[in-house]
Structure 1
Amino acid sequence: MMTPLLSCPLCGIGNPADYHRDARRDYWQCRTCELVFVPPDQRLAPDDELAVYDQHQNSPHDSGYRRFLSRLFTPLRERLMPGARGLDFGAGPGPTLSVMFEEAGHPMAIYDPFYAPDISVLRDTYDFITATEVVEHLFEPGRELERLAACLPSAGWLGLMTKRVTSREAFADWHYILDPTHVCFFSESTFHWLGEHLGMRVEFPASDVVLLQKLSQ
């Protein structure tokens, strides 16, 4: 099969490799940053995407959801100064991680393109930014992650939660690719590329969590 005229949505490089194909979608892998991605013509339309998100019933009153978010919350909080100010990017219809940080003494802003679309918050500066189960949904992860990194000072933290690609064999049977709103899939190698690209140090405190700290300029 010929490689289509696609550019990686993370690094912008063309000529991706055929990675996987199922009955619903094709998946390509960037030869540079190793991101696995769905081609643009196989993404959901905005209304269909929103219909999927509207089915989510996350809430700060759900103890199970709080336990899930603690995989990112706990290691990130341990690295923050008291009173550090944060932004929860992609907060969704039931913002919860921001509530957890506020309860711990950290003032928070939230942004979500569907549920909290005040773009002005992305022109501010924050000590830390979180995005839980967000980056796999981004159509333009390179542009969005560069924008978030620009909102951080030196030593600021970007905390991401997303399940990681481990192998082609595991990918074929992976439940994560069944969600039609998941269009970008990161591996440890992809995050190492991202850290170098953004000038950030990379840590992996859990199998689905990555922390990136902005280095001094």
Structure 2
Amino acid sequence: MKLYSGGRQAVAGISQGPGHHGDPCPVCERGVPARFCSLGERRYLRCPVCEATLLHPACRLPPEDERAVYELHDNQPDDPGYRSFLARLTEPLTARLPVGAHGLDFGCGPGPALARMMEEAGMAMCLYDPFFYPSESALSASYDFVTCTEVIEHLYHPASVFRQLSALLKPGGWLGVMTCFQTDDARFEHWHYRRDPTHVVFYREATLAHIANRLGWSLEVPRKDVALFRKGG
């Protein structure tokens, strides 16, 4: 099984997503995204069904430039500030897991701080990232939970990735996601999250609820910008 990107670029053989008239939304695969706005050289689309906002494919970075941005990230596992940031996800997730649960940190990046924090809480962790931990064996196991922190905003084909993450989860398993939810359109132009050139999809809480409904999952939002999905048993 191929999992497309750990957040990052699509794996070879995958089309570049919406951009031609009539192309379906890569998040819900039902709506047809239409022009939302243009800001400088970047053009954005909006899906009328799931309400996702999408960077036009023509405005994405080349793969080598995308990786260069990720290599600039300085997310050290021992950084107290970064650990506090990740605790927004790890705390509510671990509260729902038994000690010893087996998890995958999908899109862990070069410094897998979250995996270390989950191990400190008594969980067993595997790592996957297409650039930094490209382990095919990690994608052939099944897990009690999967974490995706600051990942889904990078995905070229979110619907495909969510389906495959579901396949990695055992019945009743949890998917913990952290991404900045889009809210007021009036703030979009100056929103810091939009300004990251590697961010290509922006989700509202309603967008994530649409994903959950389509996959037959339940959804909780225990904290700002944190979504906990649970796969049906």
Normalising by structure 2, we get a TM-score of 0.88
Deviation at 1:168, TM superposition (A): 1.3
Of 122, 125, 128, the residue aligned with 1:111 is 128
Q: Is 1:136 aligned to residue 150 of structure 2?
A: no
Structure 1 residues 44-83: aligned runs within 5 Å: 44-83=61-100
Aligned to 1:176: 193
8 A contact 1:86–1:107 mirrored in 2:
yes
Q: How many residues align?
A: 214
Q: Is 1:33 aligned to residue 50 of structure 2?
A: yes
Deviation at 1:145, TM superposition (A): 1.1
8 A contact 1:20–1:168 mirrored in 2:
no
8 A contact 2:93–2:228 mirrored in 1:
yes
Aligned to 2:13: none
1:115-155 per-position Cα deviation (integer Å, ceiling 9, x unaligned): 01112311210000000000001111111111001111221
Measured on the aligned residues, the alpha-carbon RMSD in Å equals 1.3
1:23-57 per-position Cα deviation (integer Å, ceiling 9, x unaligned): 03111111111111112121111100000000001
Deviation at 1:170, TM superposition (A): 1.9
Secondary structure at 2:97's aligned position in 1? Answer: coil
Task: Extract structure 1 runs of 4+ deviating beyond 4 A.
Answer: none
Between the aligned partners of 2:204 and 2:213, the Cα distance in structure 1 is 14
Between the aligned partners of 1:21 and 1:120, the Cα distance in structure 2 is 41
* Unaligned segments of structure 1, at least 5 residues: none
Secondary structure at 2:172's aligned position in 1? Answer: coil
Deviation at 1:12, TM superposition (A): 2.2
Of 137, 158, 163, the residue aligned with 1:146 is 163
Aligned to 2:209: 192
Which protein, 1 or 2, shows the higher relative CO under an 8 Å CA cutoff with sep ≥ 6?
2
8 A contact 1:88–1:110 mirrored in 2:
yes
Normalising by structure 1, we get a TM-score of 0.95
Between the aligned partners of 1:31 and 1:140, the Cα distance in structure 2 is 17
Between the aligned partners of 2:128 and 2:142, the Cα distance in structure 1 is 13
Aligned to 2:37: 20
Deviation at 1:4, TM superposition (A): 4.5
Name the % identity. Answer: 47
